[in-house]
Each structure stands twice: as structure tokens, then as C-alpha cells.
Structure 1
Amino acid sequence: MQQEIIDFRQSKLLAGAELSRACYRHFDFGRHVHEDIHLGAVIRGAQAFNHKGSGHTLSPGELSTLSPDECHDGVAASDAGYDVLVLSLPQWHLDRIAADLGVAFGGFHEPKRMDMVLYKDFISLHQLLYQGQNPLVEETALLDFFQRLIGHGPQSENISNRGKGATGDSREIRLAKALMADSPEPVTLDLLGDATGLGRYRLLRHFRTHTGLSPHQWQLRLRLERAKKSLMHNDDSSLTDIAHLHGFSDLSHFNRHFRMAFLTTPSAYRRAIRN
């Protein structure tokens, strides 16, 4: 019987970028967001996912294009499961690449692209970054790929006008996100409601409308995303210290939430990502 399998690796070329290969059959990614840009390609089977309230299916030949802080989920489209390659990279990498190409990147209009050439280029790029053997070859493949994805020309991505930091959120929602992101201590709806001037009930309703998540769900995911980065980069800190640093009361809660989100434990992730 096919089992859930996932392998993580850190890119040598792209600081802070995460590569993964996974085989999913029953694992259900509940509604969540990412702090980084996520690109993915299914190489066997298909994934069903909801993005901003609309249902989609990601199949071979299509590239998943998810901007930061966009609520979505994911599950196998059939009992056969699916295999997928994912590249997660911080926004500043794409800003730098866009500057090199002379274009302005403000996010993706759609959560996937149907483009067989782009799909094959992504798979080749993922393999090169995964092996991490020749930076010159990797950089060339990287720029060629993003030239097609976000560059000028008939095959390029139609860029939105949102811009970095202009996500379409209201001032109150941006303030609530900033308060939750910067506070290691528990944040209450009363505090968020008072700070934004909305009150706790209107704040909760508006936050769900804008993000697709409750404030607690959004904050939990942000803490898990940032904890992953700490596991990637921090050699000296214990798992307990990292758990506390990112707002988890103890290692048990950190392990449980991490495994539910990423199908692996923090310790296993750290070993894999530094291999």
C-alpha cells in the first residue's frame, strides 16, 4: 500500500528556499497560508484544492503558482494519490529576479498555469536545485524559468497591480496581522478589536472574509512557517527553544502542530533539510 512520503531539502543557491518531493495519498492540507511564494508541479495523479473559495485540480502539465498569504487547502483528487514537487522561496528572491529581468512582480492572478513548457522547465529546475552541484547551471535555469513565468512576452504571467505589501487587505486587517506576527505572547480578539477599532466580532468576521482563516489559524500557520525557517538556519537552538521562540507553550504542542501541518516532526525536518 502506498504511504505518505515527503523529503525536504534546502537549496544551496537560494538562501532560505525549501525544496520538497512528496507522495501523498490520504493527507489533507487543511486551509492554510504560506509566508513565502510556493510553486508546485504534480508529476503523478492529481491534487484537488480550494483557493479563495474556488475549486481547482492540479494535474501534470500545470504549475501551481501561490503568492504569500493566500488561503488554500489540498488533498488527493482520487484514491490513487499524487506525487508533487514544490519550491518555496522568500518573496525577496522573486523581487530580485524581477529586477534583473526589468519587470515588476506583484503576485499571481491565478493559482495555477497550464503551460507544458513551463511545467517541464520547473521540473528540470527543481532537479538541478535539489542536486545543488553546479551554481552556474542552476542560475541559468532559474532565470530562464522566471523569464517565462513573470517576464515580458506572450507567454509571460499577467502581473497584478497589488504590489508587495499591498495585498488588498484593509488597514485594520493589516494592523491585526502585524500585531499577531510581532507578538510572541497570546493575542486576544479583544486586543485586536480594540487596536483596529472594529471590535472583536467585526474583526473576526472581516478577518475571515479577507483571509479565509480565523486570526488564530492565521497566526498558528505563520508561527509554523517561521519555525521551519529557524530549523533550517539555527544550528545551536534546541527544539524547545525554537518552540518557545515562535509562541508554542511547549515542545509537545509544537511537535503536534508541526506534524499536522507538514507530515513530519521538527527534528526529522531539521535532519532532512540540512542533509
Structure 2
Amino acid sequence: MSTATPIENINYWRHPSLSGIELSQAKFTHFSFDKHVHLDYHLGVVIQDAQQFVNKGSSYQLGQQSLSTLNPDETHDGQSCYADGYSVKVMSIPVAYMNEISQELGINEHFFSAPMVEDARLSRYFTQLHEQLIQGQFSELASESHLLYFLNLLLQRYPAQAIKSTSPQGLSSLQLNVIKQRIYDEPWQNTQLATLACEVNLSKFQFLRQFKQATGMTPHAYLKRVRLELAKKSLSAGALVADVAQQLGFFDQSHLNKAFKHAFLLSPVQFQRRML
């Protein structure tokens, strides 16, 4: 007797009173995330089974008593620990929003020292908050009040670490910032490898090797992911899919559709309908 293959499922929401914050809930069985980065902070809790991921060369297992605390621009992957898959709730928080809260607490810039924390209380609070936000159970005032209370607990319990000025391998942080800033400023440009290498006075081969050592991704994979992250933000703001494709350097709308669905399991139109 045959059994049906489980279907991967993901949904997105945007709460009307929490500008720029993205909520998602997913069930993943066979789907694995390639190495990638986010432009925002990503907090998440597994509500069924467990996820395993690699961050900065170390392996982690995110279970139901844990909270993921992924910093912006931090390379990681992700897949299920078990054959039955896992379910997860995620909240994406813009850097500007997190910085505003950090400054209120007397912190100049927050950077989590680990990609996850074992904290059953915070995990439960996050799960309840996430569910109440997507169900619309709070007023606008209550929504932000509960979110700020949660973030206050998180930042006070797990204070920021100092950001190192050099990376342990490959390019220095200063060199990386030069390259990344160029990509952020002109994501639509089909920049040549030689051009990026010249920015930091390296040969193409040296640059390719050192960039991957420092980030875990090739320059091309990094650029592609940044484009997709920016596409999500533009789509959430109501931009037309064809315009997003053109503005971010995709060959055409079909190229964006394919890359977007591979990364997020939804087409740009499906994602936008959930966010608007």
C-alpha cells in the first residue's frame, strides 16, 4: 500500500501595526535550505520535531525548548533532523527596529553571540506571541507591547557580543564590508568577478577562495540571495513582480519566479498575496 508524499507547506503574514516585521509558519519534510543569509534578524521556534543547521562551521539542533537567534548577514543552512520533517514558526525583524530597541536599553548595536539559545520560557513566550499575532488576537497597541516585552527579555538575557574587526578566515571584515556594500548599493549590476577582486586588490582566484572562506558562499550565490531578500521587501511593499525582476537584475520575470520559488517555496505572486 503506497502512502502520499508529504507536501512542503509555508505561509507568511504581515501584522498591520508592526511595520516591516514578517511572520511565517512552515512544515518542511524533504526541503533543505541551501547556505544563505537574511537581511534581517530571524528568530524562530520549532513546534514539532527538530531542525539541524550549520552556522559558522558548527552544527546545531533546534528543538522545541530552543529559540533560534540568527543575526543579519550570517550564513547558515537548514534541514530536518528526522524523516517525518519538522514544523517551525519564524519572525523576521528589521535591523532598524532591533537597533531602536537596543538603543533604548543602552546598547549601541546588538549582535547575538550564538545562533540559538536553550530557553524554554522564551521559546514558549515566542510561540504564543507568534500565534496570537497571526490570529489577530491583539489590538495594535497590545501587539507591539507584547513584542517589545519579548524582545526586552531576549536582549537583556542574551546581551550583545563585540563584533570582531577581522574574520577568522579569508577576507577581513573591512574588505567584506566593501564588497557587500557594493552589492547592496547596486544589486541589479551583473558585476564581474574581476571587478570585485580589484576592490580588495586580489586576483580573481584569491578573491573567490577568500570570499567563500569568510562567508561560506560564493560571490554569485551571495548576490543572488541578496536580490531575493530585497525582492521580498519590494513585494511586501506592493511592487509589481515584473518591476522587481527588472530592478534587481533578474533576466526576466520567469527567472525571478524560478529563483524565488526555489528559495521560499512560493512564487512571488503567492508571497505577495499573503503579505498585502
The letter for the 1-side match of 2:148 is L
Task: Report the Cα offset of residue 187 of structure 1.
Answer: 0.5
Q: Which residue of 2 aligns with 1:23?
A: 27
Deviations 1:102-127 (A, max 9, x none): 33442111110100110011112212
The letter for the 2-side match of 1:150 is L
The structure 1 residue matched to 2:237, chosen from 233, 237, 248, is: 233
3-state SS of 1:144 partner: helix
Map 1:166-181 → 2, pairs under 5 A: 169-181=172-184
Deviations 1:191-218 (A, max 9, x none): 0111221121111111111111010011
Of all paired residues, the percent bearing the same amino acid is: 37
Structural RMSD (CA): 1.6
The letter for the 2-side match of 1:181 is Y
1:270 aligns with 2:275: no
When the two structures are aligned, how many residues end up with a matched partner? 266
Q: Which residue of 1 aligns with 2:70?
A: 66
Deviations 1:145-192 (A, max 9, x none): 1121112xxxx10320129xx685532221111222222120111101
The letter for the 2-side match of 1:224 is L
Give, in whole Å, the separation in 1 of the partners of 2:231 and 2:106: 33
Q: Which residue of 1 aligns with 2:161?
A: 160
Q: Which residue of 2 aligns with 1:243?
A: 245
Deviations 1:13-54 (A, max 9, x none): 221111001111011101101111000000001111111111
- TM-score normalised according to structure 2 size: 0.92
For the Cα contact (< 8 Å) 1:12–1:129, is it kept in 2?
Answer: no
Map 1:103-252 → 2, pairs under 5 A: 103-132=107-136, 133-151=138-156, 156-162=157-163, 169-183=172-186, 184-234=188-238, 237-252=239-254
For the Cα contact (< 8 Å) 1:103–1:150, is it kept in 2?
Answer: no
For the Cα contact (< 8 Å) 2:110–2:159, is it kept in 1?
Answer: no
The letter for the 2-side match of 1:273 is M
Give, in whole Å, the separation in 2 of the partners of 1:110 and 1:124: 23
3-state SS of 2:68 partner: strand
Deviations 1:52-103 (A, max 9, x none): 1111111101000000111100011111111100000111111111122333
3-state SS of 1:92 partner: helix
The runs of 5 or more residues in structure 2 that have no matched partner are: none
Q: Which residue of 2 aligns with 1:255?
A: 257
Give, in whole Å, the separation in 2 of the partners of 1:76 and 1:175: 35
Give, in whole Å, the separation in 2 of the partners of 1:167 and 1:13: 39
